[in-house]
Chain A
Amino acid sequence: MPAQKAHWQSRSRRRARAGLLGPGLLLMAVLSIAPLVLVIAYAFMTRGRFGGVVPGFSLDSWARVLEPIYLGVLWNSIVVATITTLLALAIGFPVAFVISRLPPQWRMVALVAVVLPFWTNFLIRTYAWVVLLNDVGPMNKGLAELGVISEPLGLLYSEPAVIIGLLYSYLPLMILPIYASLSSSEREIAEAASDLGARPWRVFRDVYIPLSVPGIILGGIFVFVPSIGNFVIPDLMGGGKSVLLGNVIRDQYLTARDWPFGSVLILVMLAILVALFAAQAVASRRLTGKLTR
């Protein structure tokens, strides 16, 4: 009886689907979506006396975002994350370009060499810079012995130090996507263009740049997003002088105990991220349209 067989099959498949999807979706619902919903809800409540929240709708915390001190932090975070992203691009693009033109057997070695520092402990990596940049540390000593400087640079515990730390941590995330887009099959277009007599600069401007734009945008997001929410690097390398959005959010929850305001700041950060992802989606759709045309 075919009808009965189909019925049995669909029932067994339904059970298989529940068995496969159920545990994972439950995990995501309880430990990812529920906490997110909770944080969003807290942004519309009043702070409790000893942390926590008082239930009931309120927009009090939203007005505080506009206070000059927090607008300043927000602006500073965007500036620091933007500078980091641009520096990563200025370094990452040439590196990706050079790697994509290496002989195949060396390409893999170079890529592993790029990712390797990324596989070492994040805190240790940041701390290595604290050692390196310290006023009595190896870099200042070396430069002084070479006669380049007469006084320590005083780089550590400053905003440039924070940018160096962020750049160091996230540079591979810029190099890899640009490399991926440059080494796609369309690179043959570039060779065709130069075979047909196009000048190197024109090949670069009209072929390589458009080819790598999807990678640049993706790399930009990969660098910008963790930079803006970071509080560990400003803590360790900024010495409290450079305060970013991530620091303020952490402090609202842990020390100031103003959870609703912390949640408002989280929503501001998430809004920036969603806007970035939306812009990326639009840009990449336009680009693929252009390339196939």
Chain B
Amino acid sequence: MRPTPLVFKVITVAAFIFLYLPIITLIVMSFNGGRNPYVMEGVSLQWYRELVTDGELIAALEQTLIVATVSSLIAVVVGTALAVGLARTTRSRSLEIVSVVPAVIPDVVQGIGLAAMFTLLAVPLGLTTVIAGHTVFATAFVVSAVRARLATSDPSLEEASRDLGAGTFTTYLRITTPIMAPAIVAGGLLAFTLSLDEYVIASFTSGSTSATLPILVYSRVRFNLTPEINALGTLLIVVSLVALVIGARWIGRRGKVSA
């Protein structure tokens, strides 16, 4: 094999510096002793202390966790069923497209569309409407993950189960579901993480009392910046890392069992 051009190696190293420089800056600045979020003045844990006693922030975190949990749970149930239905009971291309529209449509369009509809139907904006907005794209992601898994699995396993006398639902429960398990977990985790992070749709569908964490972070970054945001950012990075490691290990183990 030919050697890789030197320019490519240089660009790659530069790209990784580009990817990690802001994150490292943020982590270092979170231990700032001073009040200025841009200038390091001594080392302290004061902003972490501030963080755990910040009532507004803790309330926003609670809202975010509720939204992410409820929307990804609904998405896992409804999305898995939809994916099985699409893969095994119909050949309709248009139903397939309808099921993944929310994953490809720009978030600003989805958010405005929902806001316009809720206004038209006089649905009060609040936690429920945010959950509704997140459930849609979460379901689309679960559908794509599970569809991809089903496309590569062998349908004759299910046929064998039915030939041996198991009913349709028994077969889905006993055969199809275990096959899909890694994809369901991956899709669900993806939906959960995306929801934790989601700002645009939430900003259009939340009322004044249902600020999620991204909404609060956004307003703080724009109007009331303190190093506390650096500390919060660092904690969120640690949480995402832990979730990623757990998820990857779990999927890796499941993948080995079913292979």
Residues of chain A whose beta carbon lies under 8 Å from any beta carbon of chain B: 12-13, 16-17, 19-21, 23-25, 27-29, 31-36, 38-39, 42, 52, 90-92, 94-95, 97-99, 101, 112-114, 116-117, 119-125, 127-132, 134, 136-138, 141, 168, 171, 191, 194, 200, 203, 225-226, 229, 231-232, 235-236, 246, 249-250, 253, 259, 262, 266, 269-270, 273
Closest to A247 in B: B108
| Cβ–Cβ contact B22 & A253, under 8 A | no
| Cβ–Cβ contact A121 & B214, under 8 A | yes
| Cβ–Cβ contact A17 & B113, under 8 A | no
Say how far B219's CB is from chain A's closest CB, in angstroms.
10
Closest to A122 in B: B197
> Does B84 reach chain A (CB closer than 8 Å)?
yes
Contact with A along B125-169 (1 / 0, CB 8 A): 000000011011001100100000000000000000000000111
Say how far A184's CB is from chain B's closest CB, in angstroms.
16
Bound CA span A135–B177, Å: 55
Closest to A230 in B: B108
Bound CA span A127–B237, Å: 13
Bound CA span A127–B236, Å: 13
Please give, as numbers and ranges, the residues of chain B lying within 8 Å of A121 by CB-CB distance: 196-197, 214, 217, 233, 236-237, 240
Closest 9 CB pairs of A and B: A35-B113, A24-B82, A20-B85, A128-B22, A229-B106, A124-B233, A21-B85, A94-B8, A17-B89
> Does B29 reach chain A (CB closer than 8 Å)?
yes
How many A-B pairs have beta carbons closer than 8 Å: the answer is 239
| Cβ–Cβ contact A125 & B106, under 8 A | no
| Cβ–Cβ contact A138 & B25, under 8 A | yes
Residue from A25, A38, A120, A171 within 8 A of B116 (CB atoms): A38
Say how far B211's CB is from chain A's closest CB, in angstroms.
13
Residue from A19, A20, A25, A125 within 8 A of B22 (CB atoms): A125
| Cβ–Cβ contact A249 & B241, under 8 A | no
| Cβ–Cβ contact A35 & B117, under 8 A | yes
> Does B78 reach chain A (CB closer than 8 Å)?
yes
> Does B183 reach chain A (CB closer than 8 Å)?
no
| Cβ–Cβ contact A98 & B4, under 8 A | yes
Residue from B78, B98, B112, B218 within 8 A of A33 (CB atoms): B98
Say how far B236's CB is from chain A's closest CB, in angstroms.
5
| Cβ–Cβ contact B218 & A232, under 8 A | yes
| Cβ–Cβ contact A17 & B22, under 8 A | no
Given known contacts A12-B167, A168-B22, is B241 in contact with A116 (CB within 8 Å)? yes
Please give, as numbers and ranges, the residues of chain A lying within 8 Å of B115 by CB-CB distance: 253
> Does B99 reach chain A (CB closer than 8 Å)?
yes
| Cβ–Cβ contact B25 & A132, under 8 A | yes
Please give, as numbers and ranges, the residues of chain B lying within 8 Å of A42 by CB-CB distance: 116
Q: Tell which of A13, A25, A225, A231 has the most Cβ of chain B within 10 Å.
A: A25
Closest to A267 in B: B109
| Cβ–Cβ contact B81 & A20, under 8 A | yes
> Does B95 reach chain A (CB closer than 8 Å)?
yes
Please give, as numbers and ranges, the residues of chain B lying within 8 Å of A20 by CB-CB distance: 81-82, 84-85, 89, 172
Closest to A99 in B: B12
Residue from B1, B106, B113, B237 within 8 A of A225 (CB atoms): B106
Say how far A117's CB is from chain B's closest CB, in angstroms.
5
Contact with A along B1-40 (1 / 0, CB 8 A): 1101001110110111011111101100100000011111
Bound CA span A120–B196, Å: 10
Q: Tell which of B15, B20, B106 has the most Cβ of chain A within 10 Å.
A: B106
